[in-house]
A and B are shown apart, each in its own frame.
Chain A
Amino acid sequence: MSQISRRQAMAILGALGFGATAAACAGPGGSTAPGGATGPAAPATGNVTGRVSFAHWRGEDKAVFDELIKRFAAMHDGVEVAQDISTSNDYNAQGLQKVRGAAIGDAFATFRGAQFKNFTEAGIYTELKNSKAVSNYQEGLLSAGKSGESQLGLPYQVVFPMPMANVDLFDKAGADLAPKDWDAFLGMCEKLASSGVVPISWPGGDVGNGGQLFNCMVANNAPVDDMCAQIEQGKLKCTDDWFIKMLNQYKQLVPYLQPNATGTAVEPAQNLFSQGKAAMLATGSYHIAAVRGLGATFPIELVFPNTSDGNGKYEGAYNATFILGVNAASKNQAAAAAWIDFLSEPENAGYYANQTAQHVSVKDVEYTNPDLKRLSPWLDKKTALAARFQFQNLDVRNAVEASATAVISGTSPEQAAEAAQKIVDERL
């Protein structure tokens, strides 16, 4: 073998290093997934076989999906669905990078709002407008999965981000479950407090869950329905009168929250509620299963903190989320689309709903779960689509919601509003 000098070897390594540097300096971005904002159509037909990765964040629903996967596999020989589950926070932060390229997530779910928008812009969704599944959904609930004229995703879950109520404690205190205005709501809290329980258990130490109350507080206070989008665009401001009024209403809630509410994580807040120490849990209906798991046996209702003077536009708040889609980069789109079709059939959607205690957007579903049956009338009420998911910028969302937490900590509404607006202004 011929010999080379160190100088030659250094030259070779240098060349390799230069190559690596050049490669590193290739422009960012690379290629986007083939979908684009409108997305290619998901295949209506094809071999339903092979492995399908289903990426989502609902770890608590794993067993239910496992059962549905068994049923799906029994219908199609040789198909296998694997769940790739992240925690909701991680999925929110990294979902796009994980699913992009379809190493995982032939079928996937997204949160409504910023994540759905980013997935759409990255061209990850395929067009589902003409799919078999779409006709199974309630037309009015599909908008969260639309981009222009395209139906890219199918919002699977309907959740009510409103305080859950322990009906027994309300009855004992003689408190009204449906306050018609803000004074009635405070009166209701006063009655509950007088009966010796904490009126509202609020996880102020958990940004994601603590922020759900914002959906209710803003619904009847804001001058427009797309108030959060307008705040982000600079058309509305946190220092506007309506926003300050809302923060003042947050301040009025302080005596009715558990002590040190801003330091309470979601699990202790759930415990206060499930143990009957708190009459309401200010998160949402998506926590029913968790609360039942903690041993709560009392009947559960939803309460809308109606901030209006009696002429409010809305009677509650809802969110259509867990937006199902088929990955445009998937090599097994036919099987992924078949899985989404399967989940969207009323029988299977009903199984999912009743086992997880969450309503679904699919039509003709029979709710047999007692909690869902009790809460089903909310599906027909005039509810506002959860406003916090209008924010496209998570820093803006967190800053705006943090103003409410700051007020509960003791900051004046005006100061809290100014601090939030400063961050919004920096991101305009």
Chain B
Amino acid sequence: MSIHPGTASERRAPDTYTETGAKKRRRSPTRVNPALYLFPLPAVAIIAFFLVMPTLQAFQYAITDWNGFSAAFNYVGLDNFIRAFTKDSLFTNALTNNLKFVLLVVIAQTAFSLILALLLTKNSRGSILLRALFFFPTILSSVSVAFIWKFIYDPNFGLANAALGTVGLDALQGSYLGNNAQALYWVAVTQVWFHAGQMMVVYIAGLQSIPRELYEAAEMDGAGKWQQFKSITWPFVAPATSIVVAYTTVQSFKAFDLILGIAGNPPKSSLDILSTRIYSTFANSEFGYAAAQSIIFMAMIALVTWLQRRLLRLTPKGE
């Protein structure tokens, strides 16, 4: 076996060869030992089998009325997509809930994690301890987090109402997840608690890479803290913000396990988001329709992520 990529000198002076020899040598850079093609094959096969094929199948199922187990099915064209947007208030409700949830979590989590990072950038012992504390929820499983917060929010035995009662704020005690108008906000609080520590770490990495000299120069020029933040910190943490916002968006769209853990299966309509709705549709033996919902879900994540990056100007033109 041999690899025959050609040499630099051959590439530099093709005109010195005979026509036949030149052709042979010009092709040679593209010739590699076939054995090399075997190396990526496992990865390609895994991606093809577990990612490409199911995705392609989802597109195909999305135009059928397949129930998930019958041999018989009909092609229904775009009916499933039309149904999702025009004849299914459960789907549009889940979509609205999800967009609201994403907006809440992206804003709150990004702001909270940035504030935490700004406060804990220095590598003092106290900061390191606090960073570890704030990061701790991230290593918990989402089901554990859901059960912890389910207990906190329980109106009868829960920590939240008990704490309010202890300090004499009985009037603020509530039903939390039982209140349809508020339930989504309480789950958003849980989501932020769960992941803000993780995003804080991303921000800290970004903040620690900003040269100190810039702040010293700004101080000498008389810039206040806010001006320093606006003119130095924010532009320099833009790449970190880009990661935080994109990751939080996808995470919030897919808060499936947290919602099911905290609200049960199926969740009530005020807590139904796209991923739980798709799951309910699959469970309801409407595989074709669920596949269509999945494609809309995928498109929605892509669209929202792209819009965010454009609106926040986190992606320079041309990238």
Contacts and interface: CB of A to CB of B under 8 A. Distances in A.
Contacts of A2: 34
B4 A268 contact: no
Interface string B258-278: 001001111111000000000
Interface string A218-229: 000000000000
Interface of A: 1-7, 9, 12-13, 16-17, 20-21, 23-25, 27-32, 89-90, 92-94, 96-97, 100, 114, 118, 121-122, 204-208, 258-265, 268, 271-272, 393-395, 398-399, 402, 405-406, 409, 422-423, 426
B154 A263 contact: yes
B280 interface: yes
B167 interface: no
Q: Which residue, of A17, A92, A395, A422, has the highest number of chain B Cβ atoms within 10 A?
A: A395
Contacts of B282: 93
Size band of the B side of the interface?
Answer: 35 or more
A93 B89 CA distance: 21
A122 B69 contact: yes
Contact of B265 (A9, A89, A265, A399): A89
A32 to B, nearest CB: 5
Contacts of A409: 178-180
B53 A263 contact: no
Output the residue of A24, A265, A406 with the most chain B CB within 10 A.
Answer: A265
A263 B179 contact: yes
Contacts of B27: 5
B52 A206 contact: no
Contact of A24 (B1, B52, B150, B287): B52
Interface string B41-53: 0001000110011
Interface stretch (B56-64, B101-109, B222-230): B56-64
B136 interface: no
Contact of A32 (B70, B87, B178): B70
B176 A263 contact: yes
B30 A7 contact: yes
B283 A29 contact: no
Contact of B66 (A29, A205, A262, A402): A29
B150 A265 contact: yes
Given A395-B280, A395-B284, A204 B178 contact: yes
28 contacts: A2-B34, A3-B31, A4-B37, A5-B27, A6-B30, A9-B32, A17-B48, A20-B52, A20-B53, A24-B53, A28-B64, A29-B70, A31-B71, A89-B260, A93-B279, A93-B280, A94-B283, A100-B69, A121-B70, A207-B265, A260-B178, A262-B175, A263-B176, A263-B177, A263-B179, A265-B150, A409-B179, A426-B87
A264 B178 contact: yes
B90 A5 contact: no
A33 to B, nearest CB: 8
B153 interface: yes
B156 A28 contact: no
B89 A426 contact: yes
A263 B155 contact: yes
Contacts of B288: 28
Contacts of B171: none
Contacts of B279: 93
Contacts of B176: 260, 263
Nearest to B3: A3
